[in-house]
Structure 1
C-alpha cells in the first residue's frame, strides 16, 4: 500500500473522518429513551448512543438561595440504555466471565450476530469532547456540573469550593442516611491531591500570614475558618459550617472595619473567598522546638558492580548536574549532600574552599555512622566548583569497584542520621538485592507461588527493620524516593516499603538498559526534586456532623485513626478517603468537607493548606447515583483493591471489584425500572465509562492473573495507591494517537483561537487491535511512560519524515527516541504534540520508547495497553459487559 496524502491512510477515509462519523452517531444528544432505543441495530446487545454530550455553552441551573451545591429539585434520573438482553437473545461465543471473578455463567448460545465494537461507549470520544468543551470555557468550582475529566487540560476558577484539581468526590449529592447510601450502591469517598499543579494562567494558592497569631479555628471540632462559615449579626463571632459550634471573633485577627462594608472587606480575605488557602503559621505549629529549616536533599548513588556495569553513576551525575545547575535552579536556601555506597558508604567532603572533593568511607556493616557533618551538606552554588568536579570524576572513581552486594540498609541508616535534625528528601538508587549489612534480605521470588493463595506473601515485607526505620524517618520529616534499576529480583515489596511509608515514590525500571531508560531516569529524578512538595506533613479531614472518615487510602504512615503522616508529600501524590454516616443528615443543609495539611515548605516556612468542599444533601438515591463521577469512583475502587493486596488473593480482589460494579448497576436499575424493558442493561449518564475503566483495573499489571514478576506487581499497586487521578486514568486507559492520520490543522498552534491548550489535540483511537491499522505509527501515552509503536509495514515516507531513515530496521529501539528536527509538517506536528503533552503531564517522560512490530521484545508491554481486547488474563470489553448483564440477570434483576 502506498503512503499518500497529508498523512491520510492509504486512500481510505482518514481516522478523523471515521471518528467524526462515529461521534455524530454515538454521542448523547438529549434524545428521549424511546428515540435512543429506536436506533438499535439487529444485534444481541446493541449499545446505541450513550456517551453524554458536553455542550460548548453550559446550561446554568437556578440555585437555592442558601445552597452552595446542586439544586436537587431540578434533578431527575438520567440513564443511558443498553438494548434488551434476555436468555433468548443470542450471545457472542466469547461471552465468558472473567476467570478471576468466581462468577458462573451458562454455556454460550449459538452466535448469530456479533456486536459492533464501534458502538460501545468510547473513552477517547468522551475525552476528546470534554477537551473541546473546556478549550474556551473556564470551569468555576461552584458550577452545578460534574468537573472536567482529569485528562482534560482546562482553566479553573476557584470560588468557595476548592478546584477539582485538588479534590473530587465519588458523588456530588451526599446521601442523608445509611439507607440511601446502601440503596445507591456507591462508596462515599473523596480523593484529595493537596499539592496538585495548576496552570500558570490560574490564580496561585493564596498565602495568608498568621505567623504572629493563629488562624481562626473552631473551638469544638478545630476546623479552620473558610468561605462557608456564617457570621453572627453583630459580627462578633462565627458559626462553624462543620459542627455548628459558635465561635468568637478576635479583633486581633479581623479588624471590625471589615464589617462596615462586607462586600469589599471580605473580598480582600482569601480565606473567606476561595476554597484552597495556605495559612503561614508560627511556633504553635512547629514539629519540634527548633524553628523549621530549609530542605536538604541527599543523593545516594549505588556504585556496586551491578550499578556501575549499567552506567548508573554517570547517569546519576548528569541528572544531579541538571537539577543543581539547570535552567530552573533550586531555592537559594536549599542544601545538598552526595554520598555513594557499595558494601561501604562513601561520604564526600564538598566545602567551597577545596580544589578537589575528598572521600571518606565507612566500612562498618553492623554500625554505620556519619563520620562528620560540616562539609557534607553544602550550598550548591557556593560549592559549585567542587561539586561539578565530583560529578565529572565520579564515574571514573568507581569504575573499578567490583563489589556485588550493595549495603542498602546501611545507606538508609546514614540518610536518617544526616537529616534527622532538619528533615528533607533523599533520592536513593538501588540496582541489586541487599544481601549484607543492616536489613539484609534473602532471595524469595518463586514462580511456583504465582496464582496460589501464598503469592500474597511475596507482596509483603520480609524484614521488619525497614518498617521500623520508616517510622523514625517520618518522625524526622524525611522522605525517600527509590530508583530501582535491576536486571533481577530486588524485593521491591521490602526495600520499597520505606518509600511507601515515608510518602516517597518507587520508580521501577525493569531490565534497565542505559541508552533506552537512562534519559527517562534523568527526567524522573529531576521531577522528584523540583516538583512542589512539603516535609514533616500531617493530614486530617474533617466533615459535617453525621459524617466521619472511616478509612484513608494511599501511601503514608498512620499512627492514630484520625491523622496520617508523611515524611514528605509532593504534587504527584493523592490520598483517598472513605466516609461513614453516623446519623441522619439534614436535607436543608449542605455537607461540608475540609482537609487540612500541615507541612514545611522547601524554604523552611511552616504552613497549613486548607482544602474546602461542600455538596448538597439528598434523601433520593437516584440523586446520589445520577451525580456520581466516574473517575474518582474508579480511583476509590482501585485504591481499596491495592490497599487489600497484603491480605487478599487476586481472585478475591477481582471478585470484589466486579461485585462493586454489579451492585451499583443493580441499584440504579431499580431507580430506572419504570422506563426499562426486561433484560435491558442500563448505565447512569455520568458512569457510562465505568465498565471499561473497571475492566482496565482488572487487566492492569497490579491485579491481573498470570506470571507477573512480584517486583513489577508491587511497584504497580503501590503506584495505584498514591497516584493522582490524571496519572491513574492514563495508566488504565492510555491516549493512543495515530500519527499517520494527523490532519494539517492538528498539533499546530491556532493563533486565531488559542483556547487553553497549546495545540489542537487529535482524536485518539481506542485501545483495541480493531482500531490499529496496518502500516500505522501510534504514540501511546500511559501514566508512566510513552511508547512509539511502528507497524512492520509503516510507510518509508513516514519513517523518512520522522526519523530521517527509510527502513524500519534503521530505527534504533534500544535508545530513547529523540526525534530530529526535520523540516516537514509531520515532524513539526509530532514534536509539538510531545511538547504539549509534557506541559500537561509534567510527571511523564515524553521521550518515547520505540517498539517495532515483530522485532522488539517489548511489544507485549504495548499490547497490554489494548485493554478492550480479550487476552489470556481477561476477557474483552464486549464480553465483560455481557458478563455483567448475565450476573445481574442471575441475581434476579430482570
Structure 2
C-alpha cells in the first residue's frame, strides 16, 4: 500500500492479476503508475483556469471575479498518458488503462482468399475502392478527429499493418514502403491544409519529431511523450495561448493535434538565408526546327498570356529570357523602356554573362519590355536556318546567372543539343530496339555532363523543367537527368506542330499550369519513423544530400516519391508512426514546414498483414523499382523482376495461408490483392517496359519518367486505362447530378466488350481514344462529329465539336470530366480511331486493352496461368530439394556413425594412449573441434558448434565447448532468398557435394589409420594437416550436431547431420552445448554469456530430450531462467 499519494487518489488491487492500480476519485481517471506528488510547484507548468476542465474533465469551482490571468497558483496530479477526457465523456472505469490489451478494439481484418483463375475483375473496384482501412488501437490518438491519420492521397503504405520483424517481411515477400505525395492538388470542395501561424513549434529534443496527434501528455499536461522515440519533452509555454485573441485556448483544438497534414509558419531559426524571390529563367531554342514547328511562337504567346498568373503577389518575382541556337542570345530588359536589347555570345566553350545585372529583372518593373520581347520573339529569329543548338552551354550560363538566388529554369527545345558544352549525338538505332542492348539507350550519355550540372543546380537551389518537342530524336533519357536530380518535371511533345490546334492547345494548357502553380522553394524533405524503423532507399525526383535528407530546389504539385522501409529492430509497440517533414519557402517569401503524419498498427499475424496489403501502393513501388532496374541493367531483367516478385508474393501466400502447399489448379490470393496481377500486367505492357521492337527510345524514356513521378491516383489509370461505352450509356451518364457529371460504367479492357456499331472512349491520363466501329449508324456520326457518314471521318487528333444536341453535350461532358479528374498539369490528346482505319493508330489504341494479347504480351488469362504454373513449379522444386536433403542427411549420418564406431574401436584396441600420452590425443581432438567451429561459423551463423570429449583423454572429465550465437533471422532470410532462386542448380550441386563427402570421409579414415600405425611427431603433424583439409571440405555446408546415444558409458557417439542447400536451410537449430555430468545421466547447457538471446532454443531442446533432466548454467556458475 502506497501512503504518499496526492490528494483524491486511492490505491486498488486488480483481483485477476494482483497488480495495484490508482484511481482519482474526483475525475475517475485510473492508471497503473503510482501518481507523483507535486513537490516543486514553481518548476511545473501551470494551466489557465478555463483549461482545466477541457483537459481533464475536472469540474471547476466557482471563483470570484478577478482579472484574467494565464497562470494561476496550484498544480494537479500527474496524468499517466492517454488523451484527457471532457466532462461530457466520463471515463469508463479502467477501459482506457486496459486499452493496451485491446479489450475495446475491434478485431482486425483477416485475409479472405480468392481464386483468380476464372475470376472476372471489376474495373470499378480498381479505381473506386479505397485501400484497406487502418485500424489503430484504441486511444492511439489523443483526439478522435477523423483527420488524425493521413489520407492515402498524401501518404500511403504498401502494408497498412506493419510486421513486427524484418524476417516476417522477408518471409511474406511483400515489400514495406511508403508512397508520398506531400504537395498534391486540393480538389474542389476540399478543405485547405491547416496553417499554424503562431510560430509555436513543439519538437522532440532527440529525434526532432513534430508534435502530432499520436503524442501523449504527461505530468498534468506539462510534458509530452514523443510518438517516435518516446522521449519526454516540455510543452512550450505559449502552446495554450491564442496570440490573436490574446487569451488562453484549448490545446486540443490546435490543428497539429487534430490533423495529420499541417503547415507551420517557421520562425527565422529555420532559415539559412532570407527568403529569396521566385526566379524564372526561360531558355528557348530558336533553331530552324523550333521556328518551323511553331514552338517558339506558341511558347512566347503562352508565357505572355500567363504573366498575370505567375506567383508575384508581393512584386518580388524575377525573370530572364535566353534564346539559343548556334549562339547564346541574352536580352537586356531596361525598367524604363519597352525596347529590349539583344546581346549575342558566340563563345560556347567559355561563355560569359554580358551586363549580368540587367539580364535578370523584376517582372513588375520591366513588364513592358518583357511583353514586347515575347510578342516579337518568333519574328526575331524567323531567318534561323541552322540545326545547331547550344542548349548545354545555355544551361551553364543560366545557372551562373540565377545561381545567387536559386529558382526555376524552364527549357523549351525542339533540337538535340549538338554544339558547345554538353553536346549529344543521335544514338537512336532501330536495329537494337527490342534487343538486350536496348537498355543502353535509356542510360544518359555525354560523359556525366548533365548529371553533374544537375548536382550543381541542386546545390544552388535551382530546379529545371524540360519541355521537349518533336524532332526525330531528343535523347529524353539524357536530358531528363536535370529534372530528376533537381525535383523538376519533364514534358514531351513528339511530332509537335503548332498548325494543329490540338498541339498548340495542349502545350498552352500544360505550360500555363506549370507557370501559374504556386511552388515551394529551397525545400528539404526528411522521413522519420518509430525507433527501429529506417528508410533504406528512396525513389523519385530529388537529390539525396545525406542518408535521410532529400534536397528539392522546388516541390512540384502532384509529384510522388517512394521510401522503402527496413526494420532494424523487432517492434514491440502497438503501432508505428511515419512523419514526413518538408521545410520550404513559399513563393510569397514565407518559410514553412509541411508535416504529414501516418500511424499504422503492428502485428505478427500473417493473415492480418496480408489483409492490409494495398495493391495500388505495391504497384506504384514496383513500377519505380522496375524502371530503376531497366536503366541499371536490362529491360528483360526488369520484366523478369516484376514477374518473379509476383510469383514470390503469391507463392508465399499459398504456402502460408492456404491448406495445400503443393501444386494445384487454383491461383489463390488475398481478396484485397486480387487486382495486383492485372496492374502488373499493365505495367509490363506499358511502353516504358513493354517488349517491342517498335517503340522509340524517347517514348520509352518519357514513359519511364511518368512511371516514377505520377502520384498513385494518376499512375493506376496509366497502368490500367479506363474504357467507356458511349453509344449505349445509361440515361444519367453525361448528365449533371449533385456529385457532378455522371460517368458511364467502366468496362473491362478487352476487345470482347466492343460492338461493331459502337463508340468507345479509352484513356490512360496521357492519351484519349475515341474508337468508332465500322458499322456505326450515321445518326451517331452526325450527332457527335457533325458529319453525314462514317467515311467522312478522318482519324487522328481531333477536337470534338459542341453541337446542339443531347448526345454531343453528353460526350463532350464526359471527355472534359475525364480530363479534369486526373491530377497533374497534363491535357491528353483526343484521337479518333476507326476500326477499319489507320493500322498504326488502331494498333496504338488496342495496346491499351491490357486484358488482351498484344504483340509479345500475354492476355490476362494467359498471364494468370503463367503465374500459377511458375508458383507450382517453385513449390515442386522446394519439395524435391527437401526430400533430397533429407535423404543425403541420412547417408551422411550413416557414414559418420561408422567414423564414430571406428574411433571407439581405435580407443579399445590400440595402446597409443599409453605410448604417446594423452596430450597428443587432446591436441588432436582440440584441432578437430576448432575446425568444426570454424567451418560452421564460416558457412552459417545459425550453427552452434560443440564437441564433448570423453574422460579417457585425461584423469578427469574434459569438456571442450565452442559456441557461436544463433542468428535465426539471418538464416531464415537466406532460406527464402536463396532457396527460391537456386533450386534447379541446387540439385546438381547437392549430388556433387555428396560425392565429395564420400571422398572426404575416406581421407579422414585414412588419416586416423595413419595415426594408429605411426608414432612420431612428424606423422602427427601430417595427420593434423590432412584432418584440417578433410574437415574443411566436409563442413562446406551448415551442420547440426545431435547427441543420440551412449555407445559406451564414457564414450558418447556423435552423428553429424547436414542439410544441403545453397546458402542455409535454417540448419534445423544450432543446439547449445550439452554437458554430460557423469553417472547422474542428466545434461546441462553451458554458455559463455550470462545473457542468453538463444533462450528460445531451450524449449526446443526440452521437446527433443524429454527423458533428461535439463538445467541451464552460466560459465561463472550462475543459473538462468
1:274 corresponds to which of 254, 259, 275: 259
Q: Does 2:722 match 1:735?
A: yes
Q: Does 2:308 match 1:309?
A: no
Aligned CA distance change for structure 1 residues 559 and 452 (closer, same or farther; 3 Å) = farther
1:779 is matched with 761
| Deviation for aligned residue 1:167 | 0.5
Give the 3-state SS of the residue equivalent to 2:438 in structure 1. helix
Judge conservation of contact 1:195–1:533 (CA < 8 Å) in 2.
no
RMSD: 3.0
| Deviation for aligned residue 1:788 | 2.5
Q: Does 2:671 match 1:685?
A: yes
| Correspondence list, 1:332-351, <5 A | 332-351=315-334
How far apart, in 2, do the equivalents of 1:544 and 1:476 lie?
Answer: 33
1:717 is matched with 704
How far apart, in 1, do the equivalents of 2:775 and 2:101 lie?
Answer: 60
Q: Does 2:538 match 1:555?
A: no
1:830 is matched with 811
2:567 is matched with 581
Judge conservation of contact 1:294–1:422 (CA < 8 Å) in 2.
yes
2:773 corresponds to which of 782, 791, 797: 791
How far apart, in 1, do the equivalents of 2:661 and 2:294 lie?
Answer: 64
2:633 is matched with 648
1:764 corresponds to which of 746, 752, 755: 746
1:472 is matched with 456
Aligned CA distance change for structure 1 residues 142 and 667 (closer, same or farther; 3 Å) = closer
Q: Does 2:235 match 1:249?
A: yes
Aligned CA distance change for structure 1 residues 274 and 378 (closer, same or farther; 3 Å) = same
| Deviation for aligned residue 1:186 | 0.5
For structure 1, list consecutive stretches of 5 or more residues without a partner in the other structure: 1-61, 84-114, 146-156
Give the 3-state SS of the residue equivalent to 2:862 in structure 1. helix
Aligned CA distance change for structure 1 residues 293 and 269 (closer, same or farther; 3 Å) = same
Aligned CA distance change for structure 1 residues 859 and 511 (closer, same or farther; 3 Å) = farther
Cα deviations by residue, 1:492-547 (Å, 9 ceiling, x for unpaired): 12122111111111111222233142221222212222234312221111111121
Aligned CA distance change for structure 1 residues 873 and 369 (closer, same or farther; 3 Å) = farther
| Deviation for aligned residue 1:780 | 2.0
1:190 corresponds to which of 170, 178, 198: 178
| Correspondence list, 1:228-247, <5 A | 228-247=214-233
Judge conservation of contact 2:132–2:611 (CA < 8 Å) in 1.
no
1:890 corresponds to which of 869, 873, 879: 873
1:371 corresponds to which of 341, 351, 354: 354
How far apart, in 2, do the equivalents of 1:720 and 1:884 lie?
Answer: 23
Q: Radius of gyration: which is bigger?
A: 2
1:851 corresponds to which of 833, 846, 869: 833
| Deviation for aligned residue 1:618 | 0.3
Aligned CA distance change for structure 1 residues 637 and 399 (closer, same or farther; 3 Å) = same
Q: Does 2:597 match 1:612?
A: yes
Cα deviations by residue, 1:397-443 (Å, 9 ceiling, x for unpaired): 11111121111112211221232122221221121221101111222
2:897 is matched with none
Give the 3-state SS of the residue equivalent to 2:237 in structure 1. coil
| Deviation for aligned residue 1:792 | 3.7
| Deviation for aligned residue 1:852 | 3.4
Judge conservation of contact 2:153–2:713 (CA < 8 Å) in 1.
no
1:634 corresponds to which of 610, 619, 626: 619
Judge conservation of contact 1:173–1:618 (CA < 8 Å) in 2.
yes
1:6 is matched with none
How far apart, in 2, do the equivalents of 1:706 and 1:142 lie?
Answer: 41
Cα deviations by residue, 1:219-271 (Å, 9 ceiling, x for unpaired): 2112111111111123222111111112222314554999xx99x71233111
Cα deviations by residue, 1:334-383 (Å, 9 ceiling, x for unpaired): 33333221122222333442233332222221122332344444444554
Aligned CA distance change for structure 1 residues 438 and 461 (closer, same or farther; 3 Å) = same
1:166 corresponds to which of 154, 166, 191: 154
Aligned CA distance change for structure 1 residues 388 and 817 (closer, same or farther; 3 Å) = farther
Give the 3-state SS of the residue equivalent to 1:576 in structure 2. strand
Judge conservation of contact 1:475–1:536 (CA < 8 Å) in 2.
no
- Mean Cα displacement is larger for which, 169-178 or 388-397? 388-397
How far apart, in 2, do the equivalents of 1:314 and 1:67 lie?
Answer: 69
Judge conservation of contact 2:726–2:744 (CA < 8 Å) in 1.
no
How far apart, in 1, do the equivalents of 2:241 and 2:363 lie?
Answer: 44
How far apart, in 2, do the equivalents of 1:162 and 1:141 lie?
Answer: 12
| Correspondence list, 1:377-388, <5 A | 377-388=360-371
Give the 3-state SS of the residue equivalent to 2:431 in structure 1. helix
| Deviation for aligned residue 1:392 | 2.4
How far apart, in 2, do the equivalents of 1:853 and 1:330 lie?
Answer: 52
| Correspondence list, 1:289-300, <5 A | 289=273, 291-300=274-283
With a CA cutoff of 8 Å and minimum separation of 6, indicate the structure with the bigger relative contact order: 1
Give the 3-state SS of the residue equivalent to 2:562 in structure 1. strand
2:848 corresponds to which of 831, 851, 865: 865
Give the 3-state SS of the residue equivalent to 1:848 in structure 2. strand
How far apart, in 2, do the equivalents of 1:523 and 1:541 lie?
Answer: 34
Give the 3-state SS of the residue equivalent to 1:741 in structure 2. coil
Give the 3-state SS of the residue equivalent to 1:316 in structure 2. helix
| Correspondence list, 1:96-245, <5 A | 119-122=119-122, 124-127=123-126, 130=129, 159-209=147-197, 215-245=201-231
Cα deviations by residue, 1:298-340 (Å, 9 ceiling, x for unpaired): 2221110111111111110222123224699877543333322
1:484 is matched with 468
| Deviation for aligned residue 1:68 | 11
1:594 corresponds to which of 561, 571, 579: 579
Aligned CA distance change for structure 1 residues 128 and 618 (closer, same or farther; 3 Å) = closer
Judge conservation of contact 1:184–1:622 (CA < 8 Å) in 2.
no
1:806 is matched with 788
| Deviation for aligned residue 1:451 | 4.0
Judge conservation of contact 2:519–2:587 (CA < 8 Å) in 1.
yes
1:623 is matched with 608
Aligned CA distance change for structure 1 residues 881 and 416 (closer, same or farther; 3 Å) = same
For structure 2, list consecutive stretches of 5 or more residues without a partner in the other structure: 1-94, 138-144, 880-1121
Judge conservation of contact 1:141–1:164 (CA < 8 Å) in 2.
no
